[in-house]
């Protein structure tokens, strides 16, 4: 058992375990949760190779049901802003419920600086030898769009001889005030702002905002 103040850590949206492994090496007791079966399989394999004791859970984090279990939660890589307004309410409530009294949550989002710098565009490219999206020849169509006053969409359409696939990456950008309002609505308190999750002091020119919250 680690001797520091916040030993049990929940990494929400842990992906392939890039951050979970770092937390484990820093002596946290880590639980990582993610809805990607491939990412969880990779994370487990990587942890085994390094003899890291990390608990990985393959589950939609919107459906997790922990209660008063963790001292600390992380929800990083700007995943929060990729959720709908309704699902942001759900995930904050779920994380709040998972934390012990006095537990803390670290999350980050894109700021309005990112939104203002976002360029709308449409491009296409033929990949004769295949590439990132497909091993066979394909056409990729890319569109970047801005919606309302805060939302962006990065859309990629992949066309092969056999199928058409579309991938949408939505993001909601925030001001400190709008982010804090959502955190307060979920019951969190003791807000501390940073420019990013490394703890750099917050400045208005930062493309990201990190926030540390307490239950």
How confident is the model over 107-143, as pLDDT tens digits? 999 999 999 999 999 999 999 999 999 999 999 999 9
Q: Is the pLDDT of residue 207 over 90?
A: yes
Q: Which of 77, 69, 63 is nearest to 31 (CA)?
A: 69
In DSSP terms, 211 is beta-bridged to 107, 193
Distance CA 212, CA 86 (A): 21
Cβ atoms of 61 and 34 within 8 Å: the answer is yes
Domain-by-domain residue ranges, the chain?
Answer: 8-111+174-214, 114-171
Q: Is the pLDDT of residue 147 over 80?
A: yes
- At 8-48, the pLDDT tens digits run 999 999 999 999 999 999 999 999 999 999 999 999 999 99
Q: Is the pLDDT of residue 210 over 90?
A: yes
Coil/strand/helix, residue 132: coil
Mean pLDDT of 193-202: 96
Pairing mode, strands 121-127 and 189-194: unpaired
Q: What is the pLDDT of residue 2?
A: 53
| Cα angle: 194, vertex 59, 18; to 5 degrees | 45
Q: Which residues contact 58 (CB under 8 A, 6 or more apart)?
A: 34, 35, 37, 40
Q: What is the pLDDT of residue 4?
A: 73
The superfamily (CATH) of domain 8-111+174-214 is Vaccinia Virus protein VP39 (3.40.50.150)
Six token digits for residue 18: 């890039």
Mean pLDDT of 171-186: 97
Q: What percent of the chain has pLDDT over 90?
A: 95
């Amino acid at each position: 058992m680690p001797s520091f103040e916040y030993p049990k850590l929940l990494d929400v949206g842990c992906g392939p375990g890039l951050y979970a492994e770092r937390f484990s090496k820093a002596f946290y007791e880590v639980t990582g949760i993610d809805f990607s079966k491939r990412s969880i399989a990779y994370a487990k394999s990587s942890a085994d190779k390094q003899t890291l004791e990390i608990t990985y859970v393959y589950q939609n984090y919107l459906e997790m049901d922990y209660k008063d279990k963790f001292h600390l939660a992380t929800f990083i890589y700007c995943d929060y802003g990729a959720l709908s307004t309704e699902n942001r309410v759900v995930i904050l409530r779920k994380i709040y419920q998972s934390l012990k009294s006095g537990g803390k949550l670290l999350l980050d989002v894109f700021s309005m600086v990112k939104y203002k710098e976002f360029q709308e565009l449409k491009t296409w490219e033929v990949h004769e030898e295949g590439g990132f999206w497909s091993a066979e020849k394909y056409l990729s169509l890319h569109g970047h769009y801005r919606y309302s006053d805060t939302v962006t969409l990065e859309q990629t359409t992949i066309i092969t001889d056999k199928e058409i696939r579309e991938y949408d990456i939505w993001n909601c950008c925030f001001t400190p005030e709008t982010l804090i309002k959502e955190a307060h609505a979920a019951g969190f308190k003791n807000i501390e702002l940073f420019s990013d999750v490394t703890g750099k002091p917050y400045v208005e020119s930062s493309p990201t905002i990190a926030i540390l919250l307490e239950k």
